[in-house]
């Protein structure tokens, strides 16, 4: 059992704090937000993540987990400090390390000798080494060591990913540091989770390379879906066949309106910026960034094609505001661009999402938010599905035909049964699954 401080209780930090406590450690989570700290100590989550609340409550009740605003008190009693503060993008796409540096300064001031500092935040290559030097410049004799331990948590599946990761990456300079961190994760070794031990720079780039490749894979299948639309091919079968190839794999081959969230957009911009700083032109990564933004703009263009008229004055139902299902996160969500484009075209928007409406309302307070998907459809001239929530897969076409004014369905996630939609009189357009009749009529 270790005494551990986790600085930062955002999405990554909170999952890490709860997970480490459940592995048997005594963990103190640290944040500057008094309201959030009070909420967490009461067992309440500041965001939606399936399964996390049960683990939070259980570990608070066990006495292994608590939260505080006092970073000094948390650090001074800990032998290991995890840093999971945000590294938001600057205007040029580079990572803002201001919060990380201030946290490191607090650690340097208060940490006991022989403390291990674990960088969980996603940082540009060379940052962990620079932070170690920053600590040594303040306390050269303390023996405080910095290691890189990037996270690979998927929103909506974070609990599963923490306890059953594909791998654990440890970027460390000394055997002592590697043994400490491996010991903390020893329960995962029992599950035969692979451990990748390397230098800090390699660990940092593993994180960025992983996210950049996933973003590239998503963008590729989205562009293939656009081409499938034009030629009358079926992107579902294309993706399924591609996934059968062991060199490619089936994951991240599901077309949509573009990727979003707190990680992929930010991280690939930071990777492109890092390349520029080392005079390496990351042309593929930059193309992915541009292509993803262009994909978001195509949603309203497709809708206008289906409507055959201007959108001004029409009522559009938008189902799905989170960037993906099983989360309330709307950061960089394609829905932000789609709704903005619809409003600019003069449309009236009626929106629904099972979890993300409060967060979306902070950006667009004046659109209509509805209690259910079917309520959002009332009087709508067209329906757009942007997020693959399971409840949208079972929408009642009979009810839809009664409450909707129009018959246009634009399904960017391919969650609806196209045959049933057409049988109920709807003009259905999937993403890369355009019906043959539409192709032949062009």
Is-catalytic flag, 263? yes
Domain that holds residue 100: 3-198
* 26 token code pair: 């005594």
Are 272 and 332 contained in the same domain? yes
The reported pLDDT for the residue numbered 139 is 84
Q: What is the pTM of this model?
A: 0.92
Among residues 197, 198, 263, 370, the one annotated as catalytic is 263
Interatomic CA distance for residues 392 and 385, integer angstroms? 8
Q: What is the CATH number of the domain that holds 186?
A: 3.40.50.720
185 in any annotated domain: yes
Are 156 and 297 contained in the same domain? no
User: In this structure, what DSSP letter does residue 308 have?
Assistant: T
Are 174 and 288 contained in the same domain? no
148 in any annotated domain: yes
Are 313 and 366 contained in the same domain? yes
Number of domains in the chain: 2
* 157 token code pair: 């599946």
Interatomic CA distance for residues 411 and 166, integer angstroms? 32
- Spatial neighbors of 42 by CB under 8 A, at least 6 apart, are none
Interatomic CA distance for residues 376 and 315, integer angstroms? 10
CA angle 87, 92, 95 (to 5 degrees): 15
User: In this structure, what DSSP letter does residue 394 have?
Assistant: G
Are 230 and 171 contained in the same domain? no
Mean pLDDT by 10 residues, the chain (442 residues): 94 97 97 96 96 98 97 96 94 92 94 95 95 91 91 96 96 96 91 94 97 97 94 94 95 95 93 95 96 95 90 97 97 97 97 98 97 97 97 95 96 95 94 62 45
Are 169 and 285 contained in the same domain? no
* Strands 408-411 vs 168-171: parallel, antiparallel or unpaired: unpaired
Are 428 and 330 contained in the same domain? yes
207 in any annotated domain: no
Are 334 and 426 contained in the same domain? yes
Are 186 and 282 contained in the same domain? no
């Amino acid at each position: 059992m270790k005494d551990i401080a986790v600085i930062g209780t955002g999405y990554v930090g909170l999952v890490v704090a709860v997970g480490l406590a459940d592995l048997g450690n005594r963990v103190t989570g640290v944040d500057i937000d008094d309201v959030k700290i009070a909420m967490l100590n009461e067992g309440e989550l500041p965001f939606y993540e399936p399964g996390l609340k049960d683990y939070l409550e259980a570990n608070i009740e066990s006495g292994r987990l608590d939260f505080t605003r006092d970073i000094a008190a948390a650090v001074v009693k800990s032998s290991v400090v995890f840093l999971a503060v945000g590294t938001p993008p600057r205007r040029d796409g580079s990572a803002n390390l201001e919060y990380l540096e201030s946290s490191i300064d607090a650690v340097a001031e208060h940490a006991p000798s022989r403390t291990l500092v674990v960088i969980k935040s996603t940082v540009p290559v060379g940052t962990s080494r620079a932070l170690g030097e920053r600590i040594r410049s303040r306390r050269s004799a303390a023996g405080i060591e910095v290691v890189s331990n990037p996270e690979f948590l998927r929103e909506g599946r974070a609990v599963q990913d923490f306890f059953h990761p594909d791998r654990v990456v440890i970027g460390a300079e000394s055997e002592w540091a590697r043994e400490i961190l491996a010991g903390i994760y020893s329960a995962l070794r029992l599950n035969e989770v692979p451990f990748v031990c390397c230098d800090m720079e390699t660990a940092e780039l593993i994180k960025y390379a992983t996210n950049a490749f996933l973003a590239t894979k998503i963008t590729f299948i989205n562009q293939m879906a656009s081409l499938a639309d034009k030629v009358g091919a079926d992107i579902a079968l294309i993706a399924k066949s591609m996934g059968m190839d062991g060199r490619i794999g089936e994951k991240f081959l599901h077309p949509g309106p573009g990727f979003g969230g707190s990680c992929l957009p930010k991280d690939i911009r930071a990777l492109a910026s890092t390349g520029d700083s080392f005079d390496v032109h990351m042309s593929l990564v930059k193309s992915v960034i541009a292509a993803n933004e262009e994909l978001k703009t195509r949603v309203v263009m497709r809708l206008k094609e289906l409507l055959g008229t201007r959108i001004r004055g029409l009522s559009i139902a938008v189902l799905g505001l989170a960037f993906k299902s099983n989360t309330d996160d709307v950061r960089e969500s394609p829905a932000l661009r789609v709704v903005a484009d619809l409003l600019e075209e003069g449309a009236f928007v009626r929106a629904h999402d099972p979890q993300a409406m409060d967060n979306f309302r902070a950006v667009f307070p004046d659109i209509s938010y509805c209690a259910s998907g079917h309520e959002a459809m009332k009087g709508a001239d067209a329906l757009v599905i942007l997020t693959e929530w399971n409840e949208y897969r079972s929408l009642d076409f009979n009810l839809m035909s009664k409450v909707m004014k129009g018959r246009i369905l634009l399904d960017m996630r391919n969650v609806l049964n196209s045959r049933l939609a057409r049988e109920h009189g709807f003009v259905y357009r999937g993403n890369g699954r355009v019906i043959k009749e539409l192709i032949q009529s062009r």
